[in-house]
Amino acid sequence: MLFDPLWIAIMVLSLVLGGITQFYIKSTFKKYSKSGLARPASGAQVAERTLRQSNLPIAQNAAATTGNAFGKRPVNIARSTHGKLSDHFDPRSNTVALSEVVYDKSNIAAAAVAAHEVGHAVQTAEAYLPSKIRSALVPVANIGSQFSIFLIIGGIILAGTESVAGSFAANLVWLGIALFASAVLFQIVTLPVEFDASRRAMVLLRETGTLTATELPAARKVLTAAALTYVAAALIAVLQLMYWIGLARD
């Protein structure tokens, strides 16, 4: 398998696509992080403004995550401790976590990223179906991404061992493929979730007047660049799954 030309081609494609998309998002973010806002606002301020526009309460401290009188959990706005461009929304703590290059920076890139993460908070508050499905897939997807490869390769190795029943080895391979498929499904479901969060972000940036009409296209470019990383990851995952299925059938 390690010397299979098809597998090598998939791995090379993975590296190339991954490298290109990472370079694109970083260069795009860097470019528009140099573009200050006509109406200055830090990433944290943009997050607060867009949350209020979405009628979501804002927590005054990290512990304030219980539902309010309207049944909506207050959303925390916090600094991410995971480094540059580690911005994310954590539905467990209902926290919009912004990286150091977004949290207190006033530029188009920071505004776009902050509004995007708020888009995820709105999805959670509205019980957006694809977002709920993705959250439900997290446990099994984590297991699949971590252990599926060991089951698949282990089954392939055992298949060549006379002391092991062929059916057991085959079942092991298919179990690994099933787990890997759950991780692939997670990648696929992530696409509409991310696209929708970006759509919501653009609406919020316009409705709140955070960005001017001339600044909005630049924000869209930042969000599009970020979306491409998820598209590339899903494509590679699907190709790898197709390879494993083909290998198991041979």
CA 45 to chain CA centroid, Å, is 23
117 is catalytic: yes
CA angle, 221 then 104 then 192, to 5°: 35
**Residue 10 backbone phi and psi in degrees, to 5:** -65, -40
**Catalytic annotation, pick one of 48, 100, 117, 162:** 117
Contact 210, 37 (CB under 8 A): yes
Catalytic positions are 117
